[in-house]
Chains A and B, each alone.
Chain A
Amino acid sequence: MTPPSAGAGTGTADGSRVPAGRAVRRATAATARRRSDAGIGQLLGDLYYALIMVAIGIGMALGVVEVARDALRPAPVVPAPGPDLGLPSLAGLAVLGFVGVVLSLAGRLGPVGVGAAEATWWLPLPVDRRGLLRPTAARLPLLAGGVGALVLVLVDLTVQGYGGTSADRLVRFGALGGLGTAALVLLAGVGQSLGAVRRRIAAAGHASVALVPVLAVVGALTGWRLEALPSPGAVVLAVLTVVVVAAAVALDRRLGRIPGRDLRESGSISSQAVGAVVSLDSRELGRTLVEGAARPRRRRSARFGAVRSASAAVVAADVALLVRSPRHVVQVLGATVAPAVVLVVPELASTAVLAIVLVGSGYVAMLAGAEGARRAEMAPVLDRLLPLSARRVRVLRTAVPGAVAVVWSLGAFAAVAQLHGDLADGGAEGLMAWLALGLASAPVWAGAAVRSAYRPAPDWAGPLVSTPAGAVPLGVLAVLSRGPDVVALGLVPVLIALLLGAAPVPVLVAQGVASAIVVAVCVRLPATAAGGAGAGAGGAR
């Protein structure tokens, strides 16, 4: 190992020299590089591959914008009576939601942290931590800035269209997104160095996200609306630049003030999150991020007085998990309101857009309801203690997602009824039909929740298919599609009803049959687990 240079370091009590933190970091990295046998050719190859992936990603995003523009209806020349939000207003609210997501992630991931090896071998050294942590501290703001720039450009393109914007305007939006997002992450880092509790930073992000549907409803009811997204002025960009520079300098100077325990926790969560992303394990990613923002507190133990059986215990545990997680409750409420918000934006109030929003918001609500099943799959503590068969456990775990789906359906399908004029005078029969269709489709979401929660780990041993974006592992895709696959198939009757503009009895019957099939498929055990009824119930996949 190349010894870290002592030249720039500090003296110790016995007169010896401690190296600079930067020297320690570089010596560690140099040794790792030498041993990895990675030459300049491989480095350039990796860089080329990364650039191609980014270019493909941007190209796909621009394609989505193009499709979205085509799906939008023209804005009415004369505003229609009733609630009216407008597309620019919704885009503004979407930016607020993006700010919330950035803050939430910054709080959960640190933003400054070190991995387990660095925490064990670097942090106890009496070297300056600033030199150790500089690259780590710069990584997340840079990444966030890049993503922020892209998101704001896409938002402007979606609202204005290619013909309604200009290169100068896009550059300004890109700069606004990049600088604003980087500033948020850097300020979160400064907060971390000042001792701010990271989960409070994340909670501020959650609050911003939760505000989006609330402001949308309030805006629609009060008549507030943006006529257009204002192009960011030079003064705004200059101020943001100053903020970014000031925050970067402040964070750099305060890196040594971040407590070691905080660096360890942040690094641990970041490492797990990166591992989950690399292995395409969205379930693990969700667990990591949820636990990263969890408050370490004890709760008064519930008496569970109403629990009289093993079956009731499983359901009660899932209910307790949901109601003790305000984030998931807000997630359900937000998803329930989302379809109604779409209807108050004239450009979005179409069957196609509503169908997309129904699927998206339904999936968000489903994830909140599936939390009990997802955690039980990871650690089936309760399931193993109860005298229940594996299949019975799966059936019971559809109860909470099913209840959540019922709540969401009432809101979502009321929006569908409104789109088709069935909320107007005399439309009670149509409204009831749509609500009946929503209730009939709720089991599909419940089954999908259990199917996705109990899916096996991604299978990397399957065949690879070559695509322009690189090799795609089919085994992994097959695993990741568990859950969404039954949603796509089980909601075909709903799709037909949306196309018909009504929910006639045959469609209702078809939906009931489809829901029954989906639930039967989703609670079925794989052959290896079917024989293991009883004690190992929860662990069976």
Chain B
Amino acid sequence: MPASPVIHADALVLGYGGEPVCAPVSFTLEAGRALALVGPNGSGKSTVLRAVLGLLEPAGGELQVLGAQVDERDARFRAQVSSVLDDDAYFPALTVAEHLVLTARGHGVADAADVVADLLDDFGLTGHADVLPVALSSGQRRRLLLAAGFARPRRLLVLDEPEQRLDQRMRSALAARLRDEADAGGAVLLATHDPALLEAVADAAVLVGDVESPVLPVTDAARAIRSEPTR
């Protein structure tokens, strides 16, 4: 008997105040796969991610995550779904390392100190471990958020334009890490405007926008990104 998909969205309708922001979205994401959402600014990619994370109530259609209706109030849901959105908020009195330790210990990671040390190294933050976030650059703060997404156990990793504010080297390292995540059996759902990241990470893509789209091969999605109108 096949395992149930990590995410199953069927004719998912999303919007604010009763007005849909994009055409219905349908896709399935299974463990060990990475799926990208692409589309121009304002097309509804982040809205889809917010629905998957339980931060937005769908207006119609079906959405199941990890075999159940989405309910982020359920601690079991939060224990299995890791996310990196466009937040830029930090406890002003906690250092970079303490933010990561809080995340790891809050998820019951036994060897939190070791996990955090490795992540600080991977994301180029070792030299800033004892620094307060206010002293970090915009790109360094972004790296801290990304590191937090990996500092905890997860079955599904959701990222909203993770390439934002990263230099090329870090983008490549992130792409490799995300691909490893999927290859190791995790599920990755990301929204992106970066065709290189898309091609390096995703197995398939969904074009979010005014017209309902089937799941596309990555090459077609990368072409769609490159032809996005400049707004």
Question: Chain A residues with Cβ under 8 A from B93's Cβ?
Answer: 31-32, 35-36
> CB distance B106 to A31 under 8 Å?
no
Q: A28's contact among B54, B72, B73, B91, by CB below 8 Å, is which?
A: B91
Whole-angstrom CA separation of A260 from B99 in the bound complex: 20
> CB distance B73 to A16 under 8 Å?
no
Say yes or no for B55: interface residue by CB 8 A criterion: yes
Interface centre among A24, A117, A258 (most CB of B within 10 A): A117
Question: Chain B residues with Cβ under 8 A from A4's Cβ?
Answer: 102, 105-106
Chain B 38-97 residues near chain A, CB threshold 8 A: 50, 54-56, 72-73, 75-76, 78-79, 82-83, 87, 89-95, 97
> CB distance A32 to B94 under 8 Å?
yes
Q: B107's contact among A18, A28, A258, A296, by CB below 8 Å, is which?
A: A18
Chain A 99-120 residues near chain B, CB threshold 8 A: 115-117, 119-120
With A12-B108, A296-B16: A117-B79 Cβ-Cβ less than 8 Å: no
Say yes or no for A325: interface residue by CB 8 A criterion: no
> CB distance B108 to A117 under 8 Å?
no
> CB distance A120 to B89 under 8 Å?
yes
> CB distance B105 to A126 under 8 Å?
no
Q: A261's contact among B55, B75, B82, B108, by CB below 8 Å, is which?
A: B55
> CB distance B106 to A298 under 8 Å?
no
| Chain B min CB distance to A33 (Å) | 8
Smallest CB gap from A33: residue in B: B93
Smallest CB gap from B50: residue in A: A261
Whole-angstrom CA separation of A17 from B87 in the bound complex: 27
With A12-B108, A16-B110: A129-B73 Cβ-Cβ less than 8 Å: yes
Whole-angstrom CA separation of A259 from B92 in the bound complex: 25
Whole-angstrom CA separation of A428 from B73 in the bound complex: 67
Say yes or no for B225: interface residue by CB 8 A criterion: no
> CB distance A298 to B19 under 8 Å?
yes
Interface centre among B76, B105, B148 (most CB of A within 10 A): B105
Say yes or no for B112: interface residue by CB 8 A criterion: yes
Smallest CB gap from B17: residue in A: A297
With A6-B108, A296-B17: A31-B98 Cβ-Cβ less than 8 Å: yes
> CB distance A117 to B55 under 8 Å?
no
| Chain A min CB distance to B77 (Å) | 8
> CB distance A12 to B91 under 8 Å?
no
Question: Chain B residues with Cβ under 8 A from A11's Cβ?
Answer: 108
Whole-angstrom CA separation of A87 from B71 in the bound complex: 52
Instruction: Render A21-62 as a binary contact track against B, CB cut-off 8 A, 1 for contact.
Output: 000100110011001100000000000000000000000000
Say yes or no for B192: interface residue by CB 8 A criterion: no
How many B residues have CB within 8 A of the partner chain?
40
> CB distance B108 to A9 under 8 Å?
yes
> CB distance B109 to A16 under 8 Å?
yes
Smallest CB gap from B109: residue in A: A16
Instruction: Render A257-268 as a binary contact track against B, CB cut-off 8 A, 1 for contact.
Output: 111110010000
Question: Chain B residues with Cβ under 8 A from A120's Cβ?
Answer: 87, 89-90, 145
> CB distance A126 to B79 under 8 Å?
yes
Smallest CB gap from A257: residue in B: B73
> CB distance A27 to B87 under 8 Å?
no
Whole-angstrom CA separation of A127 from B93 in the bound complex: 22
Smallest CB gap from A13: residue in B: B79
Say yes or no for B18: interface residue by CB 8 A criterion: yes
Whole-angstrom CA separation of A296 from B94 in the bound complex: 35
Whole-angstrom CA separation of A122 from B73 in the bound complex: 12
Say yes or no for B32: interface residue by CB 8 A criterion: no
Say yes or no for B153: interface residue by CB 8 A criterion: yes
Question: Chain B residues with Cβ under 8 A from A129's Cβ?
Answer: 73
Q: B101's contact among A3, A16, A126, by CB below 8 Å, is which?
A: A3
Q: A126's contact among B17, B87, B97, B107, by CB below 8 Å, is which?
A: B107
Say yes or no for B26: interface residue by CB 8 A criterion: no
Whole-angstrom CA separation of A79 from B99 in the bound complex: 70
Question: Chain B residues with Cβ under 8 A from A116's Cβ?
Answer: 87, 89
Question: Chain B residues with Cβ under 8 A from A14's Cβ?
Answer: 108, 153
| Chain A min CB distance to B176 (Å) | 24
Say yes or no for A124: interface residue by CB 8 A criterion: yes
Instruction: Render A275-317 as a binary contact track against B, CB cut-off 8 A, 1 for contact.
Output: 0000000000000000000011110000000000000000000
> CB distance A124 to B78 under 8 Å?
yes
> CB distance A121 to B91 under 8 Å?
yes
Whole-angstrom CA separation of A257 from B54 in the bound complex: 13
Smallest CB gap from B82: residue in A: A124
Say yes or no for A10: interface residue by CB 8 A criterion: yes
Whole-angstrom CA separation of A81 from B134 in the bound complex: 69
> CB distance A260 to B89 under 8 Å?
no
With A1-B94, A24-B106, A298-B19: A12-B79 Cβ-Cβ less than 8 Å: yes
Whole-angstrom CA separation of A13 from B66 in the bound complex: 14
> CB distance B17 to A260 under 8 Å?
no
| Chain B min CB distance to A331 (Å) | 23
Smallest CB gap from B145: residue in A: A120
Whole-angstrom CA separation of A17 from B148 in the bound complex: 19
Whole-angstrom CA separation of A19 from B75 in the bound complex: 12
> CB distance B83 to A124 under 8 Å?
yes
With A17-B108, A257-B73, A296-B16: A126-B91 Cβ-Cβ less than 8 Å: no
Say yes or no for A128: interface residue by CB 8 A criterion: yes
> CB distance A1 to B87 under 8 Å?
no
With A1-B101, A32-B91, A35-B93: A18-B73 Cβ-Cβ less than 8 Å: no
Smallest CB gap from B56: residue in A: A261
Could you pull out 7 A-B pairs where Cβ atoms are within 8 angstroms? A4-B102, A4-B105, A28-B94, A117-B89, A124-B103, A127-B75, A256-B73
Chain A residues near B (Cβ < 8 Å): 1, 3-4, 6, 9-14, 16-19, 24, 27-28, 31-32, 35-36, 115-117, 119-129, 256-261, 264, 295-298
Given A19-B105, A124-B103, A126-B106, 5 additional A-B pairs, CB 8 A: A3-B101, A19-B106, A123-B78, A126-B78, A260-B72
State the 9 A-B residue pairs at the shortest beta-carbon distance, nearest first.
A116-B89, A297-B17, A126-B79, A32-B93, A16-B108, A125-B106, A1-B98, A126-B75, A18-B108
